[in-house]
Amino acid sequence: MHRVQFHYTLGREGGPAQIRNPLLDLLHALAQRGSISAAARELGLSYRHVWGELKRWEGELGHTLVVWEKGQPARLTEFGTKLLWAERQAQARLQPQIEALRAELDRAFAVAFDDSAHVLTFYASHDEALAALRELARRQPQPLHLDIRFTGSVDAIRALNEGRCLMAGFHTLEDAAPGTPIQRAYKPLLQPGLHKLIGFARRSQGLIVPRGNPRHLYSLRDVATKRARFASRARGSGTRVLLDELLRRADLDAAALPGYEGDEPSHAAVAQAVAAGKADAGLGILATALAHGLDFVPLVEERYHLACLKSALDEPAVAALLQLLRGPEWQSRLAALPGYRPADSGEVLSMRQLLPWWTFRKAKATA
């Protein structure tokens, strides 16, 4: 029985939270490059080292990992392929927990190194722009540490209401009308006068499909009609709420979508399921599709909102965040992200205008 052990590194440079394993990185490079020499160059290692590591691991695991045939590119064995994709899928599914662990450690070190740093606790739907914002915030002259816990949109607002964070991130369609799944999900959790919305970004959501879109899937109706395997997000996620709304608009029953009852925890997990051939399509964002070498079919543009309690607007950390969001450096960085564009970033907006679900009767005049 092979056991797993973890360690982490501490440095100035940021990036996605990852748990790295040299063997799996090596197998991935081999699968992508088709030769030991090319894989070695990609990893910055010598041919001799890579060869020795492969032989060592084959002895350790008791299985052959790579097949060489004269005149043919090196390729992973069936066991090597299964090991690589199983680990990558596990990494993708565990990404929210990995990010949460990294956030806990980041917060501990931020306070230890500079107890004057502003710390702002977020619960938020997973978003590439938020991850980029976190890295920019920590490099400000007055450091702003964004303690971001990625979770579903619905769960993020619940965490805000229960006092577990100061800021929540969630996403909706701009034309989310009364009586829709979007209203039913968010209206009970938000209250005008108590909550405030802060502009953040617009982003594109669509179908993540294999490169070349071999099954020619251009809509949810195509997925249903062709009985394509669909990687669905977990209940409580904003993308699952969006999926229900898009099914309603297409007049499709959820049962018509093979895989609707799935529970992938992130866009990355959806993309990994497609990349591994376990699904033909899934709903997600462009940036994640590109990161996994997949194609993307845009379906809708949505707004990503930040929400806080009205009382939190006076908090120094919130004020520092709003200033950062309004600045030109963040605006240009956001515009450069695939599938994103600014949307009133850092501005406090009218909830009743963006989410027109509430009606208020005027008080009757008294004699």
Domain assignment present for 58: yes
Residues 178-211: tens digit of each pLDDT? 889 999 999 999 999 899 999 999 999 999 999 9
Report the domain count for the chain: 2
Rounded to the nearest 10 degrees, how much is the dihedral formed by the CA atoms of 151, 94, 282, 122? 20
Show Cβ contacts of residue 241 under 8 Å, excluding neighbours closer than 6 positions. 153, 154, 172, 181, 182, 185, 186
Whether residue 104 contacts residue 159, with contact meaning beta carbons closer than 8 Å, is answered with: no
Domain co-membership, 311 together with 286: yes
Q: Are residues 275 and 126 in the same domain?
A: yes
Last-in-domain residue among 53, 76, 91 = 91
The per-residue pLDDT for 294 is 97
**With bands split at pLDDT 50, 70 and 90, how would you rate the model's confidence at 162?**
very high
**Residues 99 and 86 grouped into a single domain:** no
Together in a domain, 44 and 155: no
Question: Are 34 and 170 found together in one domain?
Answer: no
- pLDDT digits 0-9 by tens, 289-300: 999 999 999 999
How much is the mean pLDDT over the chain? Answer: 87
In the 8-state DSSP scheme, what is residue 262? -
Judge whether residue 72 has pLDDT over 70: yes
Amino acid at 158: R
How far is Cα 185 from Cα 251, in angstroms, rounded to an integer? 19
Looking at the domain assignment, is residue 180 inside a domain? Answer: yes
pLDDT above 70: residue 351: yes
What pLDDT score was predicted for residue 182?
93
Euclidean distance between the first and the last CA atom of the chain, given in angstroms as a whole number = 83
303: closest CA among 175, 154, 188?
Answer: 175
Residues 178 and 32 in one domain: no
**Residue 32 belongs to a domain with what CATH number?**
1.10.10.10
* pLDDT at residue 358 in the model: 76
d(Cα 219, Cα 137) in Å, to the nearest integer?
Answer: 37
Q: CA–CA separation, 365 vs 277, rounded Å?
A: 66
- Predicted pLDDT of residue 259: 94
Query: In this structure, are 75 and 181 located in the same domain?
Result: no
pTM: 0.76
Q: Which domain range does residue 31 map to?
A: 22-91
Assigned domain for 364 exists: no
At how many degrees (to 10) do helices 316-326 and 128-137 cross? 110
CATH of the domain at 127: 3.40.190.290
125 and 229 share a domain?
yes
113 in a structural domain = yes
* Domain annotation covers residue 12: no
**Residue 111: what pLDDT?**
60
The Cβ-side half-sphere exposure at 262, using a 13 Å CA radius, reads 25
Instruction: Please tell me which residue, 32 or 220, carries the higher pLDDT value.
Output: 220
Residues 258 and 309 grouped into a single domain: yes
d(CA 199, CA 304): 8
Amino acid making up residue 194: L
Whether 198 and 343 have beta carbons less than 8 Å apart is answered as no
CB 278 within 8 Å of CB 229: yes
Q: What percent of the chain has pLDDT over 90?
A: 52
Question: In terms of domains, do 127 and 71 share one?
Answer: no
Q: pLDDT digit string (tens) for 248-305?
A: 999 999 999 999 998 898 898 999 899 989 999 999 999 999 999 999 999 999 999 9
Q: Is residue 7 one of the residues assigned to a domain?
A: no
| Domain termination residue (choose one: 40, 69, 91) | 91
Tokens of 108: 């501990």
At residue 219's C-alpha, the angle toward residues 214 and 220, to 5°, is: 105
pLDDT at 85 over 90: no
Same domain, 114 and 30: no
* Co-location of 126 and 167 in the same domain: yes
- For residue 68, is it within any domain? yes
- Please check whether residue 15 lies inside any domain of the structure: no
pLDDT recorded at residue 115 = 62
